[in-house]
Amino acid sequence: MSSILEYKCPNCASDIKFDSSSQKFKCESCDASFTEEELNTIHDFEQNFGEESSFNWEKTETNAGEMSGMNEYICESCAAHLAVDETTAASECPYCGSPIIMKGQLAGMNTPDCVIPFKLDKKAAGEALKAFCKGKPLLPSNFVSDNKIKEMKGVYVPFWLFDCDADANIVYDATKVRHWSDSNYNYTETRHYNVYRSGNIGFADIPVDGSSKMDDAYMDGVEPYNYRDMTEFNPGYLLGYMADKYDVTAEDSFPRAETRVKNSTEDAFRSTVVGYSTVVPKMSNIKADKGKYKYALLPVWMLNSKYNGEMYTFAVNGQTGKVSGKLPIDKKKFWLYFAGIAAAIIAIGQFFVF
Amino acid sequence: MKKILSVFLVIFILALFTPTAFAQGEFIVDDADLLTEDMEATLESQILSINEAYSIDVVIHTTMSTDGEEIYSYCENFYLSNGYAQDGLVFVINLNNNEVGNRDFYTYYQGTVYDTFGDEAYNSDYGYVNSAVLPYLANEDYYMALQTYLELTESYLSGEITYDIADDEGVFVGDYYTDGAVEYSSEPMSPVVKELIIIVVALVVAFIVTSIMKSKMNTAVIKTEASDYMKNGSMKVTRSLDVFTHRHVTKTAKPKNNSSGSRSGGGGRSGGGGGKF
Ligand SMILES: [Zn+2]
Ligand SMILES: [Zn+2]
C-alpha cells in the first residue's frame, strides 16, 4: 500500500499537499481538495481500472444424456439441423422455407437442461401476428392471410442461459449544465464530475441464442421469456414440434452474455447517479467469478412469407406472443402517404402566407 | 378662452409628471428610490468632479422598469432625450419590478467617452467594471455599487486602468452592445420565398413521418443489455463518491433585435455594456 502523499491529484495528476487549516489534501495546480478517505477511494478505483473485466462461467451440473427416438432433418438451403420425433413428418425448413430432407436417426444431440413448453398454439400465434400487422399502414394488403398462418412452424430454439453475480467498479463522467443570459449574450456553464460507484448486482437466465440459423436480432426481438414456466426437460414436449440442434457452443456465446451483463450493470448503477444533466460511463471494471450457464429450449413460431420475390421471416414468442420481424413495405402506399402528408401541410401553409 | 386655458393647464400638469420634464440636466435620477439624500450628495460630488475634469456628462439613473423596452435602447433613449451633453455616459440600474435575476444594469456612452475607450477595448475593460460592480448589485448595496462604478470609470478616463482582459472563466465576462455597425434587414419576405419554405417544410415533415412508419416495420433489433434479467433487489451500492473536477463557461451572442426603437445620435460614436443581476 503506497503512502497517501504519493498520490497524485485525480483531476490533473499534479502533486498534492496536506492543508492543515482545511484538514484536506489540496492540489497545487488545480486547487481541488480531497479528504483522505476520498483519495483512498479514488486510488482504489484507479487500481481496478488497470485490470480487464473478467468473467468465469461454469456449466450447471445435470444428468443430461443424448436425445433418442428422433429423426434428424437437414435443410439443403441453410444447412439447419433439426430434430423431429419419429412420429411426425416434416417437410419445410422453419428458418428459410426451403424443403428439408430426413438424414436418419438423430445422433449427437444432448438433452437440454430445461425447457419452456409451447403455450400458444398455431391459431393463437397467428392472432398475435395479425395484431402485430395492425396499425402499420405501409404493409401490403393481405400480406398475412389465414392460409399463410397455417404454414407457421413451431420450433424449439436452443439457448444458453447465463446466471451471475457481478462485482462492479464504475466511473461515470457526469455534468451539470446551467444557462443564463443578459441582454446580449447567452451563457452556458458545464460543471464536470467524476462519479465513482462500486457494488454488486445479480442476473438470472440471460438468454443467448445457440443456433446460428436463428437470426440473433429476431430472437432478441421476441424476448423476454417468462421463466416461471420453465421446467425440467421431457421429450414429450417436443411432440409435433421441431427442435434445433445447437451449433453455437456455450463458449462462443460468452462474449454476448458478457456484453449484456456489462451494459446492464452500467445502466443499473447509473440509476444511482442522480442530480446531473448527463451521465456517461467512462470506465468500468466488472467481475463475475462464479457465473453459471445451462442449456435450454425456448419455443418460437416461425413464418416465412414471400413478397415481390423476397422472403420475409417472422418469429413469434411461443410463450408470450411477442412478434419480431421485418415487414415488407408497399411502395405505392409509401408514396401515397408521402404525397398526402406533404400536400396537407402545403395546404395548411397557405393560411400563413397571405 | 376658458376652455383653451384649462387644456393648457392639463398639458402643463402632465408635463410635470413625465420623467423627461424633471430629469432635465440632473446627473442622478433615482426613480427607483435606492439612495438617501446623503448618498446622493456624495455621489453627485463624485460625478461633478469627473464631469468637470473631462468635460463630459456622467449620469446615474435608477428605475423600477423599462416598460418592456430593451435595456440598451432604454438607456440610449434616456440619455438622448434628456438633453445631456454630446460627450458622456449614463449608467442605468433597472430593478425590473424586483424580479431577482432579471434586473439589469447597463451603460450607454457616446462621443469622447467612446473615442477614449474605442470598441474592443471598452468591451473587455468594461467587463472589468461590470464584474466589480456586480457583487454589490447582487447584495442590493446600490450605494457601494455606484461608488465603485464611478471610481473605476474615473480610473479609465485618467488612463490609470489600461487594457486588461477579464477572466474569461468568470461568471460575468464583459459584454457590450454597439450601434451603427450592424445593418438590419427588415424587408418583408416575398411570397415566392414563403411558398418555397412551406414546400421544403412539407417535404421534410412527410419524410420524417413516413420514416417513422417505416421504422415500425422492423422489430428485429439486437439487444445489448440484460435489464429484463436483473434479479430484483440484487443491486447493492457499496461505495459511492462524486468528485467535482472542472467547469467551463461558453457565451454566444444573442441575435440582435431590430425592433428596439429609434436610435438617433452617435453615428457610430456610441456603445454600451451591462448585465443582469
Ligand atoms: Zn489538480
Ligand atoms: Zn433452411
pLDDT band at B178, cuts 50/70/90? very low
| Three cell numbers, residue B135 | 457583487
The mean per-residue pLDDT over the stretch A181-210 comes to 87
Taking the Cβ of residue B102 and every Cβ of chain A, the question of whether any pair is shorter than 8 Å is answered with: no
Q: Identify all chain A residues contacting B208, using CB atoms and an 8 Å cutoff.
A: none
- Whether residues B248 and A186 touch (CB distance < 8 A) is answered with no
Residue B13 has a pLDDT of 43
State the best of B193, B219, B250 to mutate against chain A, taking most chain A CBs within 10 Å. B219
Global pTM value: 0.56
Residue B67 lies in a domain: yes
Distance, in Å, from the CA atom of B73 to the CA atom of B69, rounded to the nearest integer, reads: 7
Residue B25 has a pLDDT of 65
Of B106, B207, B241, which is closest to A41 when you measure between CB atoms? B241
Nearest CA in chain A to B208: A338
- Whether residues A182 and B216 touch (CB distance < 8 A) is answered with no
- Give the 3-state secondary structure of residue A236: helix
Residue B127 has a pLDDT of 58
Residue B41 pLDDT > 60: yes
Residue B19 has a pLDDT of 40
- Could you tell me where the DSSP H helices lie in chain A? 36-49, 122-133, 146-150, 216-222, 250-270, 331-353
Residue B223 lies in a domain: no
Model pLDDT for residues A78-137, shown as the tens digit of each residue: 888 899 888 878 888 988 888 888 888 888 888 899 999 999 998 899 888 888 888 777
- Whether residues B230 and A195 touch (CB distance < 8 A) is answered with no
Model pLDDT for residues A275-313, shown as the tens digit of each residue: 899 999 988 999 998 899 999 999 999 988 888 788 888
- Could you tell me where the DSSP H helices lie in B62-141? 71-81, 112-117, 120-138
Residue B240 lies in a domain: no
- Angle in degrees, CA A64, A65, A68, rounded to 5: 135
Residue A327 pLDDT > 90: no
DSSP letters spanning A94-147: TTT--BEEEEEE--S-BPPSEE----S-HHHHHHHHHHHHTT-TTSPTTSS-HH
pLDDT band at A353, cuts 50/70/90? low
Q: Which residues, in sequence order, are CB contacts of B63 under 8 Å at separation 6+?
A: B31, B32, B92, B93, B94, B95
Residue B193 lies in a domain: no
pLDDT band at B17, cuts 50/70/90? very low
Protein residues with C-beta less than 5 angstroms from the ion ligand 2:
A 75, 77-78, 80, 93, 95-96, 98
β-partners of residue A220 are none
Distance, in Å, from the CA atom of B54 to the CA atom of B57, rounded to the nearest integer, reads: 9
Residue B85 lies in a domain: yes
Distance, CA A52 to ligand 2 centroid (Å)? 40
Q: Identify all chain A residues contacting B209, using CB atoms and an 8 Å cutoff.
A: 337, 341
What's the structural domain count of chain B? 1
- Whether residues A346 and B199 touch (CB distance < 8 A) is answered with yes
Residue A63 has a pLDDT of 67
Share of chain A above pLDDT 70, in %: 97
Quote the ipTM score: 0.70
Distance of CA B111 to the CA centre of its chain: 21
Q: Which residues, in sequence order, are CB contacts of A27 under 8 Å at separation 6+?
A: A9, A11, A12, A14, A15, A16, A33
Distance, CA A76 to ligand 2 centroid (Å)? 7
Model pLDDT for residues A201-241, shown as the tens digit of each residue: 999 888 888 888 888 888 888 888 888 899 988 888 988 89
Residue A296 has a pLDDT of 92
The mean per-residue pLDDT over the stretch A188-203 comes to 91
Residue B179 pLDDT > 70: no
- Whether residues A193 and B243 touch (CB distance < 8 A) is answered with yes
- Give the 3-state secondary structure of residue A204: strand
What is the span of the domain harbouring residue B44?
A: 24-186+256-276
Greatest pairwise CA separation for chain A in angstroms:
86
Of B217, B223, B254, which is closest to A260 when you measure between CB atoms? B223
Residue B122 has a pLDDT of 40
Taking the Cβ of residue B1 and every Cβ of chain A, the question of whether any pair is shorter than 8 Å is answered with: no
CA distance A260 to chain B (A): 4
State the best of B73, B200, B235 to mutate against chain A, taking most chain A CBs within 10 Å. B235
* Residue A264 · residue A127 · CB < 8 Å: no
Model pLDDT for residues B94-114, shown as the tens digit of each residue: 988 888 778 888 888 888 887
* Residue A148 · residue B217 · CB < 8 Å: no
State the best of B105, B200, B204, B245 to mutate against chain A, taking most chain A CBs within 10 Å. B245
Distance, in Å, from the CA atom of B198 to the CA atom of B176, rounded to the nearest integer, reads: 37
Distance, in Å, from the CA atom of A254 to the CA atom of A185, rounded to the nearest integer, reads: 53
Mean of the per-residue pLDDT values for chain B?
72
Taking the Cβ of residue B218 and every Cβ of chain A, the question of whether any pair is shorter than 8 Å is answered with: yes
Residue B29 lies in a domain: yes
Distance, in Å, from the CA atom of B28 to the CA atom of A160, rounded to the nearest integer, reads: 83
CATH code of the domain covering residue B106: 3.10.310.50
Tell me: cis bond preceding A224? Omega within 30 of 0 counts: yes
Q: Tell the burial category of A126 from Cβ atoms under 10 Å away from its Cβ (0-12, 13-18, 19+).
A: buried
Model pLDDT for residues A125-137, shown as the tens digit of each residue: 988 888 888 877 7
Distance, in Å, from the CA atom of B216 to the CA atom of A320, rounded to the nearest integer, reads: 20
Distance, in Å, from the CA atom of A170 to the CA atom of A176, rounded to the nearest integer, reads: 19
If phi over 0 gives left and psi between -120 and 50 gives alpha, with beta otherwise, what is residue B163? beta
| φ, ψ (nearest 5 deg) of residue A331 | -60, -40
Radius of gyration of chain B from Cα atoms? 27
Higher pLDDT: B219 or B17? It is B219
Nearest CA in chain A to B228: A224
Share of chain B above pLDDT 90, in %: 9
- Whether residues B195 and A174 touch (CB distance < 8 A) is answered with no
Distance, in Å, from the CA atom of A216 to the CA atom of A210, rounded to the nearest integer, reads: 9
- Nearest partner of A207 among A233, A241, A246, judged by Cα: A246
Residue B59 lies in a domain: yes
Distance, CA A300 to ligand 2 centroid (Å)? 15
pLDDT band at B118, cuts 50/70/90? low
Distance, CA A94 to ligand 2 centroid (Å)? 7
Q: Which residues, in sequence order, are CB contacts of B275 under 8 Å at separation 6+?
A: A182, A183, B104, B105, B106, B130, B134, B172, B175
Q: Identify all chain B residues contacting A200, using CB atoms and an 8 Å cutoff.
A: 234-236, 238
Find residues 230-249 of chain B whose CB sits inside 8 Å of chain A.
230-231, 234-249
Ligand with minimal distance to A212 CA: 2
Residue B232 lies in a domain: no
